[in-house]
A = this chain, B = another copy of it.
Amino acid sequence: MKKTAEIKELKFDENGLIPVVVQEVSTREVLMVAYANEEAILKTIETGYAHYYSRSRKKLWMKGETSGNFQKVREILYDCDGDTLIYMVEQKGPACHTGNTTCFFRKLAE
C-alpha cells in the first residue's frame, strides 16, 4: 500500500492505541472492531495485510496468522477527529473466531 497522509495526523489514546473498524469492501458489512498501535498501522501499510495490537496478549498480531483468515487491506480511512480508523478489506473466510462472517451477529434491540 502507499501512504496518502501522515501517521502524525492520528490521535492515539493514552495506551498508544486507536480503534479500527473493519469493513468488507464488497458488501460494506462491518466485520469486527480491533485496536492498532503505530507499528500495526505501519506493518499493515507495508504488507497490505491487516495487523492489530492485542490488548489482552499485549502484542502485535496479523489477522489470520493462526486461523488463515487473512484480511487484504484495500484502503485505510481516518475520521474527522483522527482518532478512529477504517480498514476496508477483502476478508478471506469468516472474520469471527466463532465461525460467523462478522463478529456482529447478535442483536441487542430492534
A23 to chain B: which residues have CB within 8 Å?
30
Is there contact, CB below 8 Å, between B81 and A103? yes
Is there contact, CB below 8 Å, between B76 and A107? yes
With contact pairs A1-B110, A30-B86, A33-B19 given, residues A105 and B76 touching in the complex (Cβ less than 8 Å): no
Interface string of A5-35 (1 = CB under 8 A from B): 1010110000000010101000111101100
- Please report A residues at the B interface, Cβ cutoff 8 Å: 1-5, 7, 9-10, 19, 21, 23, 27-30, 32-33, 41, 44-45, 73-81, 84-86, 96-98, 100, 103-110
Question: Which 6 A-B pairs have CB atoms at the shortest separation, nearest pair first?
Answer: A28-B28, A79-B103, A76-B108, A77-B104, A75-B110, A33-B84
Supply 17 A–B pairs (Cβ within 8 Å), ascending by A: A1-B109, A1-B110, A5-B109, A21-B21, A21-B30, A28-B28, A28-B29, A30-B30, A32-B79, A44-B109, A76-B108, A77-B104, A77-B107, A78-B108, A80-B96, A80-B98, A81-B103
